[in-house]
Structure 1
Amino acid sequence: MLHLKNFDLEDLAMALENHFMDYETFFWVDPATGTIEMWSEEVADEADTEGWDVDDRGGIRIDPIDSYEGYRDMEQFISGVQDARHRDRLTLSIDRNKPFRHFRDAIHQLPGELARWYEFHDAAMKVRAIEWLRDNELISPEEAETALATSP
């Protein structure tokens, strides 16, 4: 088991949100080092010449979070928006087809809210990354709980 400091939480958060890859292309973490890497056919071909693969190294696949979690983040963020016009505009953006794209378009037109969104989003993803490490037994539950208690 490693310590939280051995992991790049930003890289892990990015991997947890990456919905643009197929089943044969994915991110994984090396439990011996905490390194997060991408696996693909090309990497597999190179790795075969070096004599290792993800499974041989005990790698743990990082599957992306479900999209409903991202949608829930947008809902939670919107509920905290103070300006009623902004809140209404953002609410309408996610009540449409392609809510993620429409939310992104709407939030970029509200500069004050955009900065708050990034702060909110980064904090939510940091919590998910810590929970993922804990759930995959890469860090101790005690260290995870301490880190989660100090997260915004």
Structure 2
Amino acid sequence: MLELSGIDLDEIATALADQSDYEHCWLIDPRTGEVTFWTSDTGIDGENPVDVDELDLLPIDPIPSYIWYQDMADFAEGISDAAAGRRLAKALEGRGAFRRFKDQLYEHHPELIAPWHALRDNRAKRRAVEWLVDQGLLDDTAYENFAAEHPEPNLP
């Protein structure tokens, strides 16, 4: 088992959120918890191509985008400024929702940027811990302990 304190949850959260479509993947060393980025043309060291199946590393497959989308919807619904919430919810309609949400937030509601980042980052780290538990890399109680120590932030 790995120790949670020695794992970069931000890196794992980034890997879980990575929806890009070029030939790459994020990997974790199950012995150390070190996260590595692999591409088909430069391997893991940035210079030497290697087949990902030859590596003794565990792939970190991204979580579907609808999970991350739900974070935005929850934020729009949960803020106390009803007008801002409606504009953010409207931005989530149709293709390009992620970009429109971000544009709406940064251009029209800068006071909501910090609370959005707090919610998004908290949920991303919780998902990272949950993923580690699901992979058998952390003790089964790690998620409950982490969630108790990192409750969702209050929304303005």
TM normalised by structure 2 equals 0.86
C-alpha deviations, 1:43-68, integer Å up to 9, x for none? 167265xxxx6545531101111011
Q: SS in structure 2 opposite 1:46?
A: coil
What CA distance in whole angstroms lies between the structure 1 residues aligned with 2:144 and 2:4? 11
Residue 6 (structure 1) aligns with: 6
Residue 113 (structure 2) aligns with: 114
Residue 89 (structure 2) aligns with: 91
Residues 2 and 32 of structure 1 are in contact (CA less than 8 Å); yes or no, is this contact kept in structure 2? yes
Q: Percent identity?
A: 35
Moved over 6 A (4+): none
What is the root-mean-square deviation in Å for CA atoms of aligned residues? 1.7
Greater relative CO, 1 or 2 (CA 8 Å, sep 6+)? 1
Shift in Å, 1:143? 2.4
Q: SS in structure 2 opposite 1:27?
A: strand
Unaligned runs of 5+ in 1: none
What CA distance in whole angstroms lies between the structure 1 residues aligned with 2:55 and 2:20? 25
What CA distance in whole angstroms lies between the structure 2 residues aligned with 1:33 and 1:56? 18
Residue 74 (structure 2) aligns with: 76
Residue 43 (structure 1) aligns with: 43
- Which one has the bigger helix percentage? 1
Residues 129 and 142 of structure 2 are in contact (CA less than 8 Å); yes or no, is this contact kept in structure 1? no
Unaligned runs of 5+ in 2: 152-156
What CA distance in whole angstroms lies between the structure 2 residues aligned with 1:97 and 1:56? 38
Residue 102 (structure 1) aligns with: 100
Q: SS in structure 2 opposite 1:115?
A: helix
Question: In the alignment, residue 48 of structure 2 is paired with which amino acid?
Answer: E
Shift in Å, 1:16? 0.8
Residue 132 (structure 1) aligns with: 131
